[in-house]
Amino acid sequence: MNRSRSLVAGVLLAVLTSAAPALAEVVRIEITRRQTIPEATFGEVGSYERITGRFHGELDPDHPLNRGIVDLAAAPRNARGRVEYSADLDILKPVDPRRGNGVLLYDVNNRGNKRALADFNDAPRLNDPTTAAHLGNGFLMRRGYTVVWSGWIHGIPGAKDNEVQIRIPSAPGLEQAVWDELLPNTAGVLRFPLSFAAVRTDRTGATLYRRTRHGDAPQPVPADEWEFAGAQAIRLLPAGRAFERGVLYQFVYPAANPPVTGIGFAATRDLVAFLRHSTIEVNPLAGAIGHTLAYGASQSGRYLRDFTWRGFNEDERGRRVFDAINPHISTARLFLNHRFAQPIRMTHIGYGFHAFPDIGFPFAYQDETDPYTGAVDGILNRCTARGNCPKVVHSTTGTEYWQSGQSLVTTDPAGRRDAVIPDSVRIYHYAGTQHIMGATMPPGACALPPNTVDPRPAMRAVLVAMERWVRDGTPPPPSAYPRIADGSLVPMRQWRFPDLPGVQRPVGPAPKTRFDYGPDFARGVFSRALPQPLKEDYPVLVPQVDADGNEVAGVRVPEQAVPLATSMGWAVRGPASGTQGELCYLDGSIVPLLRGAAARREMRDPRASLGERYGTPASYASRVAENAEAMVRAGRLLDEDAQRIVRRAQAVRW
């Protein structure tokens, strides 16, 4: 983290081990910068300050809650027999904590990047918020949240933009074959960077594979057609030959001394417990926190699901860590607590990267039975037994149904019936939206423009509802998602997308393939160089659509419920991508409605035009206002967002 700014006010070093605690946890805090955000006040809450620094922790490998951390016992120990680590710490808090709401919102960073300010405050995506403009519309601040970020992810490549990081030890002397994947989405890619340094660079024990299409079997590339470019990259031969755009490459090679990445779970557990409970003076939040919430989007939402499933929502003193969690756009778990883990990877994207682990059973929060193995498990299994589960608000977009098997979160693993969701869980599908706002692929990779429907107004309402749920027990609005029982969640053969001009429909959702990772996988170790796909897949279902092609179930924000376009959570790769027709990563698509009946007939578009369905722009705006008011009454939209949406609708012209 960059500390060269003139705002640095010195270092406050607090050593907490002097009391010789029986449990390790956080042992030292370093505060290197403390700054009031200039020219920014937020109603009754007042001014905010930002505190940055580092915290140092120790873990006892023999503690029952730490024994599941892969290779922790093999890491170097200090004189107290503990394993040491340190991580970045970043806090935004009310200057006067008595004017805040007493709620800590832990924003699980995504590959080191802060997300909550962009996702709830409509702020710019950046990692060093120091001005009022960096806090966007101030939503979180006006409500008095204390926002906390800390490092949990090791090995961020080329970290340079104030990403939040962690420093962890390695387990010396351990060696095994690992694999990496590369999917070039642009032309001219000349180097394939590796996640770990290869033990040897003479090609011994190393093989490069390629496949042209996702469903093809990997084929070895002849050894004389590639070479190492140092210990942590390879390139094709002859020199200057580029990796083919859209082709999937897998590389198997020997690596040694794996970092103990599972420490990232314990680091969050111990920091949040310290900030919440410690009353010593060096705790910058001492006495200010009554409730703890966690938000994580995509990779960081998978972190929260895995964190909970692995039992980390209990600290070493037996206390609940998070009162409630909001895993957003996240359906799997995380490739973190494994030997030679690659947590930076996107997992289970239908075209590429679908073999990385922790994509499989369990999917649902409640216990279900795996039809293939007979195992009984659920994300909340361990914390239910220990009595320390968080309340869960799971939110998702259409992309996760197509790319990540979201349907299995709400069905049985055989895809035959709707699951019974626990009372402590809410599931909200933001209909007609894509994974994140904005394109995730380079221009030309996807066949259509990305989806622009904004789910963030609904996300803000969900956060407020989650806060009330833990504060006074007020239940949030009912879950809203596609279901088998009412026909809004269907197998691909029953999907009824209209025949829109110029739109290539996907062949189907990404399969939820089962893999054999070898007999040691249960303890976080791979004993197969490449995972072997098993015969049966878990069934994946998709949201049914209406005559316009818009999803019929879920939370429909006004701009999707009263549409100006068909908005999809899926996209297919375009002609320039090298693999036309395959699912296109995390982008959705949008196809605007035509203005009038004549244009619609000329284009042979089956959808009613804007003029045919609304008459005038004023009539359209009136319908948006009616829908927004209904959502406010249902608790699915805040009044301030409803007003913004109506103003945008009133500005629409055709």
- pLDDT of 350: 55
Look over the chain and give the mean of its residue pLDDT values, rounded to a whole number: 93
- pLDDT of 349: 60
- CA 471 – CA 416 distance, rounded (Å): 37
CA 379-587-630 angle, to 5 degrees, is 70
Q: 449 preceded by cis ω (within 30°)?
A: no
Is 201 within the bounds of a domain?
yes
Name which of 448, 447, 570 is nearest 509 in CA terms.
Answer: 570
Residue 246: pLDDT band with limits 50, 70, 90: confident
Q: Which amino acid is at 512?
A: K
Q: How many CB atoms lie within 10 A of CB 534?
A: 12
How many C-alpha atoms does 464 have within 13 Å on its Cβ side? 21
Do both 224 and 352 map to the same domain?
no
Do both 652 and 633 map to the same domain?
yes
- pLDDT of 639: 98
Do both 382 and 433 map to the same domain?
yes
- pLDDT of 24: 65
- CA 119 – CA 388 distance, rounded (Å): 28
Please list the residues that pair with 347 across neighbouring strands.
none
Name which of 264, 268, 250 is nearest 195 in CA terms.
Answer: 250
Is 100 within the bounds of a domain?
no
> Which of 226, 254, 282 finishes a domain?
254
Does the pLDDT at position 2 exceed 60?
no
Average pLDDT, stretch 190-215? Answer: 93
Do both 236 and 129 map to the same domain?
no
Contacts of 538 (CB under 8 A, 6+ apart): 360, 361, 363, 405, 408, 413, 414, 415, 512, 514
- CA 270 – CA 380 distance, rounded (Å): 20
Which tens digit of pLDDT belongs to each residue from 518-548? 999 889 998 777 888 898 999 999 999 999 9
What 625-630 contacts at long range (C-beta under 8 Å, 24+ apart), as own/partner pairs, is 625/649, 627/558, 627/561, 627/562, 628/558
Average pLDDT, stretch 280-305? Answer: 96
Do both 558 and 622 map to the same domain?
no
Residue 16: pLDDT band with limits 50, 70, 90: low
- pLDDT of 185: 83
Residue 186: pLDDT band with limits 50, 70, 90: confident
Is 97 within the bounds of a domain?
no
Which tens digit of pLDDT belongs to each residue from 116-160? 999 999 999 999 999 999 999 999 999 999 999 999 999 887 777
Do both 561 and 419 map to the same domain?
yes
Average pLDDT, stretch 465-475? Answer: 98
Does the pLDDT at position 3 exceed 80?
no
Q: How many CB atoms lie within 10 A of CB 90?
A: 23
How many domains are contained in the chain? 4
User: Between residues 104 and 580, which one has the greater pLDDT?
Assistant: 104
Q: 């340190």: which residue's tokens?
A: 86
Residue 563: pLDDT band with limits 50, 70, 90: very high
E strand intervals along 312-465: 324-328, 368-369, 376-377, 391-397, 425-430
Q: Picking from 220-229, 353-362, 489-498, which range would have the lowest pLDDT averaged per residue?
A: 353-362
CA 623-627-629 angle, to 5 degrees, is 115
Residue 438: pLDDT band with limits 50, 70, 90: confident
- CA 559 – CA 556 distance, rounded (Å): 8
Is 51 within the bounds of a domain?
yes
Do both 360 and 450 map to the same domain?
yes
- pLDDT of 568: 97
Give the percent of the chain with pLDDT over 90: 84
Is 583 within the bounds of a domain?
yes
Average pLDDT, stretch 246-251? Answer: 92
- CA 160 – CA 2 distance, rounded (Å): 8
Residue 652 tokens read as 């629409």
* 3-state secondary structure string across 553-595: CCECCHHHHCCCEEEECCCEECHHHCCCCCECCCCCEEEECCC
Name which of 587, 559, 555 is nearest 571 in CA terms.
Answer: 587
Is 554 within the bounds of a domain?
yes
Is 96 within the bounds of a domain?
no
Does the pLDDT at position 441 exceed 90?
no
Give the percent of the chain with pLDDT over 70: 95
Yes or no: say if 566 and 607 are a contact pair by the CB < 8 Å rule.
yes
Yes or no: say if 589 and 571 are a contact pair by the CB < 8 Å rule.
yes
Do both 337 and 448 map to the same domain?
yes
Do both 586 and 611 map to the same domain?
no
Does the pLDDT at position 210 exceed 90?
yes
Name which of 395, 377, 392 is nearest 423 in CA terms.
Answer: 392
Do both 236 and 342 map to the same domain?
no
- pLDDT of 304: 98
Kindly state the helix (H) or strand (E) to which residue 294 belongs, with its residue range: strand 291-297
Kindly state the helix (H) or strand (E) to which residue 515 belongs, with its residue range: strand 512-516
Residue 347: pLDDT band with limits 50, 70, 90: low
Is 281 within the bounds of a domain?
no
Does the pLDDT at position 13 exceed 70?
no
Q: Residue 71 is part of which domain span? A: 1-91+107-170
Do both 467 and 550 map to the same domain?
yes
- pLDDT of 6: 33
Do both 411 and 495 map to the same domain?
yes
